[in-house]
């Protein structure tokens, strides 16, 4: 049973427009959420995170929104650039439960069209 779900395997967006990647989770104990970006033949790299005490975190072109009641988070990229084309993974952790590993979604392949 997947505890972190990214229901869109791929997403195509025009350069300059907004990219919105979605993630849902089922485990109510998760209190820390991260987005990782992955290029082919490389490891995932950290992009942005959000604690459950917040509902928004912004870093340059990247903003993550958290809706705890809906157990939903989203990553907004604006404006989208060609270098943003990559696979984006949503991840979650239960930092207070002693479990330190991350639970990942299966990823969304973002394609930025010129």
Q: Report whether 97 contacts 29 (CB < 8 A).
A: yes
Interacting residue with another protein among 22, 27, 49, 57 (CB under 8 A): 49
Stretch that binds another protein, among 14-22, 59-67, 70-78, 93-101 (CB under 8 A): 93-101
Query: Could you tell me where the beta strands, DSSP code E, fall in the chain?
Result: 4-5, 10-14, 19-25, 32-38, 45-51, 56-59, 62-67, 72-77, 86-93, 103-104, 108-113
1 part of the interface to another protein, by CB under 8 A: no
Interacting residue with another protein among 104, 108, 110, 112 (CB under 8 A): 104
Question: Which spans of this chain sit near another protein (rule: CB under 8 A)?
Answer: 32, 34, 36, 41-46, 49, 51, 89, 93, 95-96, 99-107
């Amino acid at each position: 049973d997947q505890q972190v779900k990214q229901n869109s395997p791929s997403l195509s967006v025009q350069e300059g427009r907004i990219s919105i990647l979605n993630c849902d989770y089922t485990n109510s104990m998760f209190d820390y959420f991260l987005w990782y970006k992955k290029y082919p033949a490389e490891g995932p790299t950290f992009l942005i995170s959000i604690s459950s005490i917040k509902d928004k975190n912004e870093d340059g072109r990247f903003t993550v929104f958290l809706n705890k009641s809906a157990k939903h988070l989203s990553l907004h990229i604006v404006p989208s650039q060609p270098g943003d084309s990559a696979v984006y993974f949503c991840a979650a952790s239960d930092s207070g439960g002693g479990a330190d590993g991350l639970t990942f979604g299966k990823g969304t392949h973002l394609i930025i069209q010129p």
